[in-house]
Structures are given as structure tokens and as C-alpha cells.
Amino acid sequence: VSVGAGNGAGVVQVMQNLEGVQGSVFNTPTVILVEQLGGMEDIPEGVTALLARSAIDVLSHVAIRARNQGVVMACCFDEGAWNTLKSEAQAAAQSGTPLQVVAGSDGEVHVKPAPPGVASAVLSAASGPTSNSNPNKVRVQVGKVAGASEWALPESGFTAGKVGAKALNLSKLRSALPAGGPYGLPVSVSLPFGTFERVLAAGENSGTAADLKALQQQLAAAAAGGDRRAALPVLAAARRLVGDRLVAPQALVSEVQRVAVQSGLVAADHWSPESWSALWRAVCGVWASQFTDRAWLARQAGGVPEDALRMAVLLQQVVPADFAFVLHTACPLTGASGLVSGELVMGMGETLVGNHPGRALSFQQPAPGSLVKVTCLPSKHTGLFAAGPNIIARSDSNAEDLEGFAGAGLYDSIPIKQLQPRVLRYNQDRLLQDQQYREGLLASVVEAGRAVEGAFRGVPQDVEGVVQGGKITLVQARPQVL
């Protein structure tokens, strides 16, 4: 899933999941064996390799985070092999013997006792002067923000400094792709940088702003004291405050309505107090995600000052998907150009990027024009589906989707109408039962990825899209982190 620097060595910890170590810093390089890995965890600082019993989608957010941090990550499907590895790891943990995990570009992973020189370096790291530093630590340089005087911007107003990379990349993609071409792009409206701060400064939110400032001071004290765990209840309080108590100024409501209707994001006869209330809850939920444990801890680890973060919100049309896909237009393991890797699920893409249980259908095209090869059949039990017109409020901060740092899944994206789960019937779907249909579908998806890479002048891209009734809609593109 991630080869990191090719190998990772460290003392060993064996655990059920990563929940208990979120926000932790391992002063000694550490190899973790974990039974269950979801899609929302962060990989703690100091971890050099992460081996999981559960399946990991190669293009899921947690896998992208591993590659971003230079961590070796792999999963084991063979129960016997896992049990043997787990027993050896537990013995190594008890004796304090470091292990070395070596990953090749062919996907083979070898776990063995660390050679004497490597073991010595691991064991001496905790007592060294830089014992709390991680050579793979990612430092995030946030994007520049100019702010905007508007409450809402149509796509024609998406400019650097006013909106985040999600919005900018979609606007650039629409300009670069041929008009009337085979690929659709969703209608989008942005609540630009500075909107959250302007809402807080409004008179109707003065009490909420004062309470939030007090909580932020408590967070700063927790960060300064190095007590990250003390911050967790404060973060929960901040999320409730922003998610539940913010009141929208009337000028914002009127401008969002005007821009949304003019852009075609919302039909004029579908705008109502009820629809606005649902939209506002989603927007506030995105702003509240600044204060999730994972996001705050990631900013601490990445050296992002709290007052440097700005959160625009991209309001985007939801295209009800038959299938959703993620593509990397360079090999995600080696960075080799020409090879396109993809994963596809039935329904919406949340089950893929969130690494929901089971595997996505995985495929590769080694070179342009070559046969698309299926490398893994799908096994996800449940898909998520959109019913009827819907809008999703997507985070678009200045600390994600950056060149060299994806920030994948760090902040929330919230649909106004909840997606509906459905048990998948692979034996009744053309995706598996009709080889000609599957080959044509995957070839079209790969071609879309190559078109996006071409639109961005050959820079490898991380592309998300959906297929509905045979038509491909591209919902996101960002530079692939190599």
C-alpha cells in the first residue's frame, strides 16, 4: 500500500486498532501491527511501518497519508501468515528486539529482525538529542489567503487567495478540458476564505465568538504544555459550539441564495427555509471539523499555527453515482509515470476514500493504449447511494490539497441529505458479470485520468470521479503526492 523509504525499522507494538494512540508521539522508531485499520485514523509520529490484518484500499485516504509521511504500510490477507507474524512480533516486543520491514515496488513485504547496526540506531534514538523528531515528519506550508468581501462566489470568481485548491483545480480543469467534451464537472459555489471569521464577528454571534476564543486559549495552553490529550474535551466543546450555535447573517443567506440559483446549484423553486437550514448545518459542520481531534493533532504535527488556518467551503452538486473511482496517474508505490492505477466501487466514493470494510475493484493500465488489468476484485459488502438532488459541503482549506501534502480526509465533507446504504449484489451487476462492459468502463475511466493529467501539463494527478449512466463526471483533481 505504501513503500515509504523502502524499509521501516523500530521497536514493536501489537494492538487491536489505532484509536488509543491517536495524538501520540513515539520517541523511539516504532513498527505497529494492528488488527483493524479504518480510514479515518492518523498515523502517529515516530511510526516507521504499519502492518494491518484488515484490507486497505491503495487509494484510500489512510493509504495516501502513509505515503505522505513516508511510512511503510501493508496488509496481510492470509490468516496463518498473520498469526505467525503476530506471534513473532509479540515475542520481539517482549524482548525489546527491533524489527525491520522491507517493502519492494512489486508489493512483496518482508519482516525480519533488524540487522545489528539498524537495531542499535533504533534503540539509541530514544536517548538522543532529537528523540522526539521523526525523519519522515511532514511540515505543512499553508496556502496564502487574501480573503474576499463576498459571502459567496460562483465558479467564475474562483481565484487564488479567495478559495482553496479544490475549487481552483476544478475551475482550471473546466477551462482546460474541451467544451462539450465527454467529461462532466459538477456545478460549484464557494463560501470563500474569511467567511467563517466574518460570521463569528457578526453581532448575532458575539457570545459564540467569545466562548470559542476561550476554548482556543485552552487549546493553545494544552499545545504549549505538550499535553495533547488534555485538548480532546476542549476540541469536542469547540465542535459543538461551531456546529450548533452559529447564526447566519441575513446578508450571507441572501447572497448564497442568489449565487446558488444563478449558478444552477439550486433550482429557484427548490430554495426554502428548510433547504437553507439543512445547507447551513452542513456548512457549520465543515467549519466545526477544524476542531476534530485528528485535524488539530495533524496541525500540531505539521507545524501549522492555529491562526494560519482558513476554511473555505465548496458547495458542490452531488451526481448520483452508479460507480465512483479514484485514479493516480503515476504509480502510487514507485511514482513511475505512464502507469495509471485506479480503484472503483459501486455507489458513492465515500466507501473507497474512507477505506470501508472490504476491497474496491482495483485496476492498472501500464502504459497508454495498453490493456487495463484488473488486479483485485471487489469485496465491499455495502455501498452508499445518493437519492435525488443533493449538495455536498466540502472542506476547502488552505492546509489541504497542497503540492507535497494532500491532507487527504483531514477535514469533513458533509452531504445535505444523508447517503443511503445498500447491500451490494455483485452477482447481479454488469461490473462483474459482463467482461466486455467492465473492460470498456475501466478503459474510459483510465482515459479520463490521462485527460486530466494532460490538462495539468503532465503533472501526475490524484483524480476522483463518478460514473452515472455511462457518463463520467470528474469531482476532484489535485497534484498526486509522490
Strand 373-376 relative to strand 361-365, pairing: antiparallel
Helix axis angle for 165-176 and 435-455, nearest 10°, is: 100
Cβ distance 441 to 302 under 8 Å?
A: no
Element (H, E) at 436: helix 435-455
Task: Please name every residue paired with 340 in a beta bridge, in sequence order, or none if there are none.
Answer: 365
Q: Is 61 a catalytic residue?
A: yes
Here the contacts of 194-198 (C-beta below 8 Å, separation 24 or greater) are: 194/145, 194/147, 194/148, 194/310, 195/148, 195/151, 195/252, 195/312, 195/313, 196/287, 196/310, 196/311, 197/310, 198/151, 198/249
Grid coordinates representing 274 are: 428548510
| 3-state secondary structure (DSSP) of residue 113 | strand
What is the spatial distance between Cα 11 and Cα 342, in angstroms, rounded to a whole number? 34
Cβ distance 199 to 248 under 8 Å?
A: yes
Q: Which of 240, 248, 221 is nearest to 292 (CA)?
A: 240
Grid coordinates representing 169 are: 483545480
Count CB atoms within 10 A of the CB of residue 420.
Answer: 12
The cell 505504501 sits on which residue?
A: 2
Grid coordinates representing 347 are: 455507489
| 3-state secondary structure (DSSP) of residue 195 | helix
Rg of the chain (C-alpha set) = 23
Cβ distance 472 to 448 under 8 Å?
A: yes
Task: Please name every residue paired with 422 in a beta bridge, in sequence order, or none if there are none.
Answer: 383
Which one of 61, 328, 356, 381 is the catalytic residue? 61
As annotated, the active-site residues are 61
